[in-house]
A and B are shown apart, each in its own frame.
Chain A
Amino acid sequence: GNSVTQMEGPVTLSEEAFLTINCTYTATGYPSLFWYVQYPGEGLQLLLKATKADDKGSNKGFEATYRKETTSFHLEKGSVQVSDSAVYFCALSDRGAAGNKLTFGGGTRVLVKP
């Protein structure tokens, strides 16, 4: 079956530091890959996505590249802000005939200190 593994948190950083959150996946097919962000007490918001190998998703200074050879989709940001404090989820979608259900990693909590 499909699975997503991401680094455990919490990750604590100072403002303007470089952020990397590792994500690797296992999939039987050729999935689409996503990063979602969850702020305290809220639902998930799509941060970025990539639908095929070597695609780079980017949004709000965050980037992730779909690496088929290493089955990875690591999230990076060059200079974090306090407002980036949240839980980040890596996910993949199964493109099977049954639909587009998402398989999530366990989430990585990021805390950015001023």
Chain B
Amino acid sequence: NAGVMQNPRHLVRRRGQEARLRCSPMKGHSHVYWYRQLPEEGLKFMVYLQKENIIDESGMPKERFSAEFPKEGPSILRIQQVVRGDSAAYFCASSPAGKVGIYEQYFGPGTRLTVT
């Protein structure tokens, strides 16, 4: 059973470009979470999605950031008009549907975004 897949592993963008980060959850998992890790800091929750639905986006910046998890295909985190402050590691996690508060999250290897 393959783990959570993220690609690309490393992404370099110039200021003003768009960044698209992809996450394929573990087989059988229908819940996806995105977290951001700034240099030398802990992870911060960004958004929680189920198939075709955004459940909680309380950690997403109000502008330039969006996320989706379509019926088919991976979850996408999109950052428009990137700025240097967006440079960070972005981690995706997935979990199975089930009783809230009991199941674990499994993390992908992350995408390290560098904005030049």
Interface residues in chain A, defined as those with a beta carbon under 8 Å from any beta carbon in chain B: 4, 32, 34, 36, 42-46, 49, 51, 89, 93-107
Q: Once the chains are docked, how many angstroms separate the CA of A114 from the CA of B89?
A: 30
List, in ascending order, chain B residues with CB within 8 A of A45's CB.
Answer: 107
**B42 partner, pick from A32, A46, A99, A105, beta carbons under 8 A:** A105
Instruction: Output the nearest chain B residue to A42 by Cβ-Cβ distance.
Output: B109
Are A44 and B100 within 8 A (Cβ)? no
> Given A97-B100, A100-B101, is A44 in contact with B91 using a C-beta cutoff of 8 Å?
yes
Comparing B43-51, B67-75, B76-84, the segment that makes contact with chain A is B43-51
Size category, B interface: 20 to 34
Task: Name 28 interchain pairs, CB-CB below 8 A, sorted by A.
Answer: A34-B104, A43-B4, A43-B107, A43-B108, A43-B109, A46-B106, A49-B104, A89-B42, A95-B100, A95-B101, A97-B100, A98-B55, A98-B56, A99-B33, A99-B48, A99-B55, A99-B100, A100-B31, A100-B95, A100-B101, A101-B33, A101-B59, A102-B35, A102-B45, A102-B105, A105-B42, A106-B41, A107-B42
Instruction: Output the nearest chain A residue to B108 by Cβ-Cβ distance.
Output: A43
> Given A43-B91, A43-B110, is A102 in contact with B43 using a C-beta cutoff of 8 Å?
yes
Q: Once the chains are docked, how many angstroms separate the CA of A107 from the CA of B105?
A: 18
